[in-house]
Amino acid sequence: MNIQQNMSLMEKLAILTDAAKYDVACTSSGVDRKGNGRDMGNCIAAGICHSFAADGRCISLLKILFTNECIFNCAYCQNNCNSDVPRASFTPDEVCELTMEFYRRNYIEGLFLSSGILVSPNYTMELIYQTLYKLRNIHRFNGYIHVKAIPGADPALIEKAGYLADRMSINLELPTADGLKKLAPYKSRTTILKPMRQIQNGITENKNELILYRKAPKFVPAGQSTQMIIGATPESDFQIMQVSEALYRNFDLKRVFYSAFINVNQDSALPMLPGGPPLLREHRLYQADWLLRYYDFTVSELLSDDRPNFNIYLDPKCDWALRHLEYFPVEINRASYHTLLRVPGIGYKSAERIVKARRNTTLTFSDLKKIGVVLKRALYFITCSGRMMYNTKLEENYICENLMADRTQIPKDIRNSGYRQLSLFDSGMLDESTIPQSHIIASEMTASH
């Protein structure tokens, strides 16, 4: 380890930001808290992103590690005790100063504090707790705080921190226990799931307390989240999504985040990904994740043992619709909200607007366009007052070819010739280049119709 003394705040910030950047959760959402007229800060339930970094990811919270002087040796992590990176630790006061000064300049929405394991899990958790305590009680900070619970730390410490934070998370790291054992020998499923369960129970109990006594202190009001690394171990999308579904169901998680694996340590035990991180796969997982949380889908509808991975050409909802044409076409003016949600091109906001708007009038295709429905995707699956928009066939190949004829519907990575991850997926789809020219022309004609 390369521990330097007397580093400037600037150097520490650089090192500990670098160390924290692979953590994906950066949302400031889930809690609505008005200012109290005295302390600095409030929270908006939808969350606010304050800037966007060069990789296009949002900057919402000051995302830093407390320390990267870690005693663990997780293979996927650049801060593991065997890797040769500069090390640094903040003091609680430094973290508070940065948070307060950034916050009042409207650079950030709050603090995201994670940490490597310094000395022991308890020692680290205690330091994190002290930082939060100072921030809340001495600096009177009322903004958003997302804090990591350190696996293996004393439950009492985790509980104390939970009363100061808005959101807590414990990273699941890898989708299966086997993967975890192999790549993160100091962590285990139990040390991860135990605090997760503890926080879940804490939140439930706290809700009951709040019913009895409105002013009871709030425990993790924005809920808890977790993240998984995608592509470091050979799990299929189906396995990953099953884990997510179980987490949502059994642990009441607010969010599960997916992080495309980047081999930061050039570790030979881990896959080398010459084409860069599996970003498209990550994207498909997020799409499916939204289907679970907002669209009432279950994982078994989207994937199965026979089809363990998502289609790279089509988003999961389109893919599902094409395999279940028996449910279509859907009549816009009669179908239930739940049914509307399943139509490609109709999002949950449009579905809500449709349900409200059709109370007063009969909707037409031009109304749908105004409402925000993506007609170029939806038109194959819907009728308005019994009519389709154009004379289209309800046939898997026909719809698929027409959807693909619109090049903007195909992920950019594939469009720009040969996606690097192609081999990982079983491509049952037609190759884009084999779409006959006649179909493309035909679809253009129908579009101008």
Partner 1 sequence: MYVFVCEDSLEGIFTGVYDACASRLGHRNIRLITGEPENYELFSEYIHVTPSDEKTGKVIRTITSRFGMQFYESIYQAALSGERHSVKKMDKADAIYETILLALASGDGQKVLLSLGEPCVYRIFELCRATNREACHHLEFLRFSELENGVLFATIHPKDNVLPYLAEHFTDRLPMENFMIYDATHQTVAVHKASMRYILTDATDLDLEKVNRYSESEQEFRRLWLTFFDHIAIEARKNPHLQMQLIPKRYWADTPELSRFA
For partner 1, the binding residues (CB under 8 A) are 9-10, 13-14, 17-18, 20-22, 34-42, 44, 48-59, 62-64, 98, 101-102, 104-107, 260, 262, 276-277, 279, 353, 356-357, 359-361, 364, 366-367, 370-371
Cβ of residue 131: shortest distance to partner 1, in angstroms? Answer: 17
Q: Using an 8 Å Cβ cutoff, are 424 and 233 in contact?
A: no
C-beta of 6 vs 106, nearer to partner 1: 106
Q: Using an 8 Å Cβ cutoff, are 229 and 241 in contact?
A: no
DSSP 7: -
C-beta of 34 vs 434, nearer to partner 1: 34
Task: Give the pairing of strands 110-114 and 51-52.
Answer: unpaired
C-beta of 188 vs 333, nearer to partner 1: 333
Distances in whole angstroms, Cα of residue 287 to Cα of each of 8, 53, 350: 42, 22, 17
Cα Rg of the chain, angstroms: 24
Q: Which residues contact 277 (CB under 8 A, 6 or more apart)?
A: 231, 260, 261, 262
C-beta of 42 vs 409, nearer to partner 1: 42
Q: Give backbone dihedrals phi and psi of 126, rounded to 5 degrees, phi first.
A: -65, -40
Measure the CA–CA gap between 343 and 321, rounded to whole angstroms.
Answer: 7
Note the helical H segments in 21-133: 92-104, 121-133
Cβ of residue 147: shortest distance to partner 1, in angstroms? Answer: 18
C-beta of 41 vs 152, nearer to partner 1: 41
C-beta of 39 vs 178, nearer to partner 1: 39
Measure the CA–CA gap between 415 and 407, rounded to whole angstroms.
Answer: 7
CA 404 to chain centre: 27
Residue with tokens 């719809």: 399
Cβ of residue 40: shortest distance to partner 1, in angstroms? Answer: 6
Cβ of residue 1: shortest distance to partner 1, in angstroms? Answer: 20
Cβ of residue 356: shortest distance to partner 1, in angstroms? Answer: 5
Cβ of residue 283: shortest distance to partner 1, in angstroms? Answer: 12
Please name the amino acid found at residue 12. Answer: K
Measure the CA–CA gap between 151 and 441, rounded to whole angstroms.
Answer: 58
Cβ of residue 215: shortest distance to partner 1, in angstroms? Answer: 20
C-beta of 260 vs 322, nearer to partner 1: 260
Distances in whole angstroms, Cα of residue 134 to Cα of each of 148, 149, 178, 409: 17, 18, 39, 50
Cβ of residue 22: shortest distance to partner 1, in angstroms? Answer: 7
Distances in whole angstroms, Cα of residue 231 to Cα of each of 275, 287, 298, 431: 13, 17, 22, 24
C-beta of 104 vs 393, nearer to partner 1: 104
